[in-house]
Amino acid sequence: MQEDSGLYLILAICAIVPAVLLHEIAHGLAALYFGDTTARDSGRLSINPWNHVDPFGTVIFPLLLFLANSPFLFGWAKPVPVNFSALRQPKKDMVWVSLAGPAMNFVLGVSALGCLAVMAHFNWFSKPAVFFLSKTALFNFSLMVFNLLPVLPLDGGRILTGLLPFSAAVKFAGTEKYGMAAMVVLLIGLPVLGNEFGIDLDIIGRYLSYVVKAFVTFFVELFGIA
């Protein structure tokens, strides 16, 4: 694999970019369906990756995880702008707009495993193809599960905001300014602290690994992939 490391690096990028790009486009299309034209008006419904790529979140961060043999992969693109107040029923429609991104990743992940099942059925295997489809499934399921964490500004936080009673939703929305700091502590701070004391404090990592593995195992068994 050493001599083909450049090829596999390119394949990893090819698995990552569509996942984050289509995730954001799905949000924009859902918002458009429910009445908000912001994403369309700002040119963010285009499939041109340069309109969506965040250099660090789309490429560098996922590749660092890949090169570190991380058990999970995730990243992000530039968020598609959504004016929730422009939705026909803002609180209700926010749930569907927020679900659209993870739903897209679910479809892409299942589709990748479906392609692997077809390859297995016809007994046709190509190491690069298997690598690409496996990483596509892993990355999309990881992105889906991570984004469904009930923390603002992640999709799970938006969904929870839309489902809570109005007064509780307003209070929860006030936690958004602390959301990213909390994620940094959970994703980086606690694991580093745990390493210093020999304790496993990688809560998010273990959660992602467990849930993503459960999704992959379920569909591998469902599709009969050897």
CB of 204 closer than 8 Å to CB of 156: no
**Cβ atoms of 31 and 97 closer than 8 Å:** yes
Q: What span, in angstroms and rounded, lies between the C-alpha atoms of 103 and 27?
A: 10
Residue in the block written with tokens 């701070």: 189
Mean pLDDT, rounded, for 33-53? 90
pLDDT of residue 56: 78
State yes or no: pLDDT of 75 exceeds 90.
no
Q: 78: number of CA atoms within 13 Å, CB side?
A: 15
Q: What is the mean pLDDT of residues 37-42?
A: 94
- pLDDT at residue 60 is higher than 60: yes
Helix, strand, coil percentages (3-state) for the chain, rounded to 5, are 75, 0, 25
Average pLDDT of the residues in 60-73: 68
Residue 95's pLDDT band (cuts 50, 70, 90): very high
24 is catalytic: yes
Per the structure block, which two tokens stand in for 144? 């889906």
Q: Among the options 24, 176, 196, 221, which is catalytic?
A: 24
DSSP 129-154: HHHHHHHHHHHHHHHHHHHTSS-TTS
Residue 117: how many other CB atoms lie within 10 Å: 18
The pLDDT of residue 1 is above 60: no
Q: What does the pLDDT read at residue 212? A: 94
